[in-house]
Structure 1
Amino acid sequence: QHNISQAALQSAQLTLAVAEADRATAAAQLRQLRTKLLADWGLKLSAAALSGSTPLPRLEKGAEALVEVSLPLGQGLADPPAEASATTPDDELVQLRFVSRAPRAAAGVAGESFFYLMASRASAPIGTPLSVTLTASTGKSGVLVPRSAVVWHQGEPFAFRE
């Protein structure tokens, strides 16, 4: 049997309560940071940042750079190209590899944005504006027929066009 004073017990309980409050505060801050990470960088880059997976190690080493490509307002791409090219201010051509869609528009740009990776270049330090060329995939030709305009005959769909 251990004997402790009432004051020592209350002091220990207070210390425990403070530690639990600190832990709850830290957990709330961590949730807030994860939410901000996801909102700023999207699912793929957030997951890489939290796990240390690709492309994070190459970005940390400076072997690659992250490029945010923004389209003009009103333009969009259903399927951004897996590869693109960029020209640095000194006319060096560099290849870009698609990472993910950006969850938000770039600062000062209202159009859709994407994240691409490029090999680091002395001619393109962080913050350097690049001229990027994206090649849209070829579309499919055809017409969209509303379901209400389809006529069925002997189990086959038909649509008439004037």
Structure 2
Amino acid sequence: MRRKILTRTIITISIGLFIACLVVIKTTHGYSDKVEDEEGVKSENRTFVRDGITYVILDSVTMSRNGIELTRLSARMGRVALVLYGSVIVPESILNDASDFSSARGAYESATSRRAVSEKELQRLKTLNENKSVSDKVLEEANSQYVLDKNGEATALRNLELIKARIVLKWGDRISNWIFKNDSILSRLIKGEFELIEVGVPMTDTLIKKYQTALITTPSGSNIKARFLGFSGVADPVFQGRALFFLARSLNQELVPGMNVVAHVFSGSARAGVLVPKSAIVWYKSLPWVYYEKAPGEFSRVMISTELPQFDGYLVTGTLKSGDVIISKGAQLLLSEEFKSQIKVED
């Protein structure tokens, strides 16, 4: 009996020890996986520092997998732009002038029609009066009506000419012709397909006749091409300079009436450099940077200037040169990789 009890006790203890070993093995195995995982994360660090400069190492497989693209820079002559400030014009301002012109033209046409009717009636009554079929009194009344209508026509014409002169002075010849001809562009302005932009330029600027195009920068950083329309004959009340008008297509409502914008107005002079596409730029601490290939597969970050925007990127002088290879797509991934060591992983 005692032997059976002893045997059962030994079996129970053995089973307990076996279960305890399994738990220890499982726990140890889990810990090993965690360490291995943590070591795996650490092993993915692709940066190193040389001479105080941080480099990111990338191979072709990694770049292809992450959609990173390279561009070899080439020499480019870019146009220098004059940096000016302006705003998107509220359509009501031009539509109000169009309405004033339409009303004045309608009043003149009506006055002309009345004058023509009274003149014709006067001529008819003159003929009848010569035949003694109409009295002199009737003829005098007809003549008075004709004079009244003729004066009304002259007044309506002067009012129309004053409104036209005011519109031309304010908007320039091209936009004024839109108003006078009721051009379809006016309805497209109302729909927001296009936007008018007014830019103030110093009165002393001698390049005013050379303006052709501009690059409009919105508060969000978007660059939109704009076409020069002309200039106003009056000083801009806000910028205290001569007002230039540009027309830009409004895509995705990037331009909103009343919005303040920066206009890079191209004056025609040129400068040599390399063209850096906008997609290559990453912003860090509010400064523009690009990653260029210092050695095969080794990329370092360099700050550039965006003071010379072009329609398809930025003209860079000095910092980069023709033949340099830069990251043109996916540079944000390199910036994240560079500063990955600063990110603390919580348990």
Whether these two folds match at TM > 0.5 is: yes
Identity, in percent, stands at 23
* Greater RCO (Cα-Cα under 8 Å, separation 6 or more): 2
Tell me which protein shows more strand as a share of its residues. 2
Conserved? CA contact 2:212–2:267, under 8 Å: no
Moved over 6 A (4+): none
Q: 2:260 — aligned with what?
A: 129
Q: 1:142 — aligned with what?
A: none
Q: Distance in 1 between matches of 2:257 and 2:237?
A: 15
Q: Distance in 2 between matches of 1:106 and 1:78?
A: 15
Gaps of 5+ in 2: 1-130, 271-347
Conserved? CA contact 2:195–2:255, under 8 Å: no
RMSD after superposition: 2.7
Q: Say whether 1:38 aligns with 2:168.
A: yes
Q: Distance in 1 between matches of 2:175 and 2:183?
A: 9
Q: Say whether 1:92 aligns with 2:222.
A: yes
Give the TM-score normalised by the residue count of structure 2. Answer: 0.35
Tell me which protein shows more helix as a share of its residues. 2
- 1:1-162 residue pairs with structure 2 within 5 A? 1=131, 3-53=133-183, 56=186, 58-59=188-189, 61-72=191-202, 74-75=204-205, 77-121=207-251, 122-138=253-269
Change (3 A) 1:11 1:78: closer
Q: Distance in 2 between matches of 1:136 and 1:38?
A: 24
Task: In structure 1, give the amino acid aligned to 2:268.
Answer: S
CA drift at 1:73: 6.2
Q: Distance in 2 between matches of 1:36 and 1:129?
A: 25
Gaps of 5+ in 1: 140-162
Q: 2:288 — aligned with what?
A: none
Greater alpha carbon shift after TM alignment, 23-32 vs 94-103: 94-103
Q: Distance in 2 between matches of 1:69 and 1:110?
A: 11
Conserved? CA contact 1:38–1:46, under 8 Å: yes
Task: In structure 1, give the amino acid aligned to 2:259.
Answer: T
Change (3 A) 1:111 1:24: same
Conserved? CA contact 1:89–1:123, under 8 Å: no
Give the TM-score normalised by the residue count of structure 1. Answer: 0.69
Any idea what SS the aligned residue of 1:86 has?
A: strand
